[in-house]
């Protein structure tokens, strides 16, 4: 599997290098004991990109960096759901063996709800086909019209509704109790597996927020971090996106060993590179609908850049030519439709969405929230 892993690292780096612009500062030591690499979470590409980059730079193609990945990836139809043109070929295919081969490892991270089809795979494997009304309560049945038995949810015509979410509380007993017990047992086994990996000297990558942020604010760290951190050397990864500068989405990240006793979320916030989008977005968010000129924007970015606390790291390209980067960000906002131009004046519109951040309603507020937390972390007392 070393050859597969090496090819996967190269392929991932090559692919994302064409659709994004990725820059990194820092790396992992080649020789190290059991470690965990902990990052903030904003985009689904972070795990493959960071693992591939660090895998190549740290020669981890010989010994992989394991990732904490959702157990849903080990169920049939994962790729078919995300790549519609593959559905006829991939509806029943389980690629868990491939994910495992490149270092991805599953964990049960959906403890209270999950897709209908995920529950069906478990119950159908244990009991065979069952009447849907025997398994699901009325409010769940109302969302899956035309489904008579749970096996119907595996049929091609029900592919989309089968992947909508159902709460475990919407199951009839004894199946609800059975799924809760199964979930707890699976989670305990998954956590024990990752503890064994770290004890054996492996490196594990995780994003303890669980789901990526929709508003730019870091979510509470949860999951297995507290179980793994005492067993490992901890490396922090701070990730930023220069979302207004394009057309390729710029991803910037820094890697550094976390200080013993430091608050890890604060440590990661301080690590995140300060981008043009963060400074411009913060200014625009405060300014609101008032029109402005290019010169106004350039001066606002410069003033914020000059006032950054010394412990924060600003994008070197921003420091080198803040005016050029600001103009590039304004062009990006025009492409997104978030700005309109009239003569030499700009104004914000109500179109604030970004195609790379589908859960985000307002990408300008997102950048403002993100930068505010970075600044607050810089001013927080060191542990």
> What are the beta bridge partners of residue 292?
346
Averaged pLDDT score across all residues of the chain: 88
Give the distance from CA 210 to its chain's centroid: 8
The more confident residue out of 19 and 244 is 244
Residue 245 lies in a domain: no
- Quote the CA–CA distance of 99 and 140 in Å, as a whole number: 32
- Domain assignment present for 341: yes
Return the pLDDT at 11.
79
Total Cβ atoms within 10 A of residue 316: 11
328: domain range? 267-379
pLDDT, residue 12, reads: 77
pLDDT band of residue 88 (cuts 50, 70, 90) is: confident
Tell me, what CATH number does 316's domain have? Answer: 1.10.10
Q: What pLDDT is recorded for position 95? A: 67
Q: Which residues contact 247 (CB under 8 A, 6 or more apart)?
A: 332, 335
- Indicate the pairing of strand 292-293 with strand 165-167: unpaired
Whole-number Cα distances in Å, 326 to 200, 242, 278, 292, 316: 48, 11, 11, 13, 14
Q: Report d(CA 103, CA 101) in Å as an integer.
A: 6
- Does the residue 331 lie in any domain? yes
Rounded Cα–Cα distance for residues 245 and 329 (Å): 5
What is the distance between the alpha carbons of residues 365 and 243, in angstroms, rounded to a whole number?
Answer: 12
Q: For position 15, what pLDDT does the model report?
A: 78
Q: For the packed helices 294-306 and 322-336, what is the interaxial angle rounded to 10 degrees?
A: 120
Angle at 285 between CA 282 and CA 291, to 5 degrees: 115
**Number of alpha carbons in the 13 Å side-chain half-sphere of residue 53:** 25
The verdict on residue 125 lying in a domain is no
C-alpha dist (Å) from residue 213 to 37, 180, 209, 210, 239 = 19, 27, 8, 9, 12
In a domain, 323, yes or no: yes
Please state the separation of Cα 277 from the chain's center in Å.
Answer: 19
Place of tokens 């699976």: 186
Q: Which residues pair with 121 in a beta bridge?
A: none
Question: Dihedral (C-alpha) 106, 109, 115, 118: value to the nearest 10 degrees?
Answer: 40
**5 pLDDT higher than 80:** no
Does 61 have pLDDT greater than 60?
no
- Of the CA atoms within 13 Å of residue 232, those in its CB half-sphere come to 29
Which of the 8 DSSP states describes residue 54?
H
Distances (CA, A) of 272 to 62, 142, 215, 377: 29, 45, 16, 10
- Over residues 21-59, the pLDDT tens digits come to 999 999 888 777 889 999 999 887 888 888 888 877 776
DSSP-assigned states of every residue in 285-326: HHHTT--EEHHHHHHHHHHHHHTS-TTS-B-HHHHH-HHHHH
Note whether residue 314 is domain-resident.
Answer: yes
Within 200-314, residue ranges assigned H as helices are 225-228, 264-271, 276-287, 294-306
Q: Which pair of structure tokens corresponds to residue 35? A: 């470690």
Predicted pLDDT at 350:
93
Q: Are 208 and 360 in contact (CB under 8 A)?
A: no
Strongest mean pLDDT among 61-75, 88-102, 142-156: 142-156
Query: Domain for residue 346, yes or no?
Result: yes
Give the pLDDT score at 308. 97
Residue 87 neighbours by CB under 8 Å, 6+ apart? 80, 156, 159
Residue 55 lies in a domain: no
pTM of the prediction? 0.81
Percent of the chain exceeding pLDDT 90 equals 57
Domain count of the fold of the chain: 1
């Amino acid at each position: 599997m070393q050859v597969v892993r090496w090819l996967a690292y190269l392929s991932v780096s090559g692919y994302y290098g064409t659709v994004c612009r990725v820059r990194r500062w820092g790396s992992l030591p080649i020789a190290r004991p059991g470690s965990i690499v902990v990052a903030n979470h904003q985009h689904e590409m972070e795990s493959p990109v960071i693992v591939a980059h660090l895998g190549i730079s740290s020669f981890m193609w010989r010994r992989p960096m394991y990732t904490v990945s959702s157990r849903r990836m080990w169920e049939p139809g994962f790729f078919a759901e995300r790549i519609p043109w593959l559905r006829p070929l991939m509806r029943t295919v389980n690629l868990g063996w491939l994910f495992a081969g490149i270092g991805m490892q599953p964990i049960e991270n959906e403890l209270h709800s999950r897709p209908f089809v995920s529950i069906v795979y478990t119950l159908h494997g244990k009991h065979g086909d069952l009447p849907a009304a025997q398994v699901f309560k009325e409010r769940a049945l109302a969302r899956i019209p035309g489904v008579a038995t749970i096996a119907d949810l595996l049929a091609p015509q029900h592919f989309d509704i089968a992947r909508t979410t159902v709460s475990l509380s919407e199951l009839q007993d004894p199946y609800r109790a059975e799924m809760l017990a199964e979930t707890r047992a699976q989670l305990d086994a998954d956590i024990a597996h990752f503890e064994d990996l770290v004890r054996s000297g492996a490196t594990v990558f995780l994003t303890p927020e669980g789901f990526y942020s929709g508003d730019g604010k870091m979510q509470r760290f949860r999951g297995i971090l507290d179980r793994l951190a005492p067993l490992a050397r901890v490396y922090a990864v701070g990730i930023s996106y220069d979302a207004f500068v394009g057309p390729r989405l710029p991803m910037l990240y820094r890697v550094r060993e976390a200080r013993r006793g430091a608050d890890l979320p604060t440590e990661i916030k301080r690590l995140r590179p300060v981008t043009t989008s963060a400074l411009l977005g913060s200014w625009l968010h405060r300014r609101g609908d008032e029109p402005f000129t290019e010169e106004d924007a350039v001066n606002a970015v410069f003033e914020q850049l000059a006032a950054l606390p010394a412990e924060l790291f600003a994008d070197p390209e921003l420091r080198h030519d803040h005016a050029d980067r600001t103009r590039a960000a304004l062009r990006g906002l025009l492409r997104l439709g978030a700005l309109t131009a009239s003569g030499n004046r700009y104004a914000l519109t109500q179109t604030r969405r970004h195609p790379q951040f589908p859960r985000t309603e307002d990408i300008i507020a997102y950048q403002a929230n993100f930068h505010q937390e970075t600044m607050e972390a810089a001013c927080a007392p060191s542990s």
